[in-house]
Amino acid sequence: MSRDSRPAFDPYKHLNITINPNGSCTRHFIWPMVDPDPDPSPGKLAASKDVTINHETGVSVRIFRPTNLPSNDNAVARLPIIIHLHGSGWILYPANSVANNRCCSQMASELTVIVVSVHYRLPPEHRLPAQYDDALDALLWVKQQVVDSTNGEPWLRDYADFSRCYICGSSNGANIAFQLALRSLDHDLTPLKIDGCVFYQPLFGGKTRTKSELKNFADPVMPVPAVDAMWELSLPVGVDRDHRYCNPLGYLPQKEKVGRLGRCLVIGYGGDTSLDRQQDFVNLLVAAGVRVEARFDDAGFHSIELVDPRRAVALLNMIRDFIS
């Protein structure tokens, strides 16, 4: 078969979805979901519970707390908070998936932190900036728990250190985390304090192809046509791939705000389709005066931590070093 006669790559078939006439998406797969487990029995990594934070949108968070709580002079030591935005390919799976539940349980246990995982709405039924709105709702809800010391969520009220809050996101979740960090600057979060941001394999885009996109065009995990489809289904209708939600580099009004961000950790791998955009993102942060720690490994690919336990451990160690 000649090159020109090969069947065209169907990104929707690769993603196993069908786009309906009304703009919604039928997902032809069933992701195993995990119910919360609030029982903090010894032997478990973490206990978890779900809390609805916006009854109008139905958005909720899943809170994870380690079962082995450290003590300090016969009192429970206060734990840092990680507001976690999971990767989903924008459109594919929610926060209560097995993979995200395992990730957050390990994070809570290994780092001894409280994890607040945001169950944000998915496109295309809810296009951007709905996900940024949901993340901000979660952040402001966390702040309210310390303000309302009597009726606040007990796991946060009793165990959390509100002066050490971190925003952490993976893949498109890191995109959401970046926009959440920027939006947080418009709000008085006192007494909550954002002490840093972790952007793991952040997903950005643009109209012009990068070298890493061309090199990894047919990547089995992140083929470029499938990424194009994800953006097409996630961005507001009518905007192009250089919109600031997708490509933050060219949006000048945002640059002054970027410079006001606190410490940032950016993690990436050489085999990631989005590598060049991630490194451009680091350059954007550095040029704005942000204190950045960039950890890039030549070996590895997008979401490698889901299939290689050693990389999952290495990722947790990098986050531990950053928040210590």
| Active-site annotation, residues | 171, 272, 302
What six digits make up the tokens of 14? 């690769």
What six digits make up the tokens of 302? 């997008």
- 3, burial (CB in 10 Å: exposed 0-12, middle 13-18, buried 19+): exposed
CA angle 87, 234, 84 (to 5 degrees): 25
- 176 Cβ contact partners less than 8 Å away, ≥ 6 residues apart: 85, 120, 131, 132, 135, 169
Indicate the helix (H) or strand (E) that contains 175.
Answer: helix 172-184
d(CA 201, CA 294): 11
Tokens 């809570």: give the residue.
108
Q: In this structure, how many other beta carbons lie within 10 angstroms of the beta carbon of residue 120?
A: 26
Q: In this structure, how many other beta carbons lie within 10 angstroms of the beta carbon of residue 129?
A: 16
Task: For residue 14, give the 3-state DSSP assignment.
Answer: helix
Task: For residue 48, give the 3-state DSSP assignment.
Answer: strand
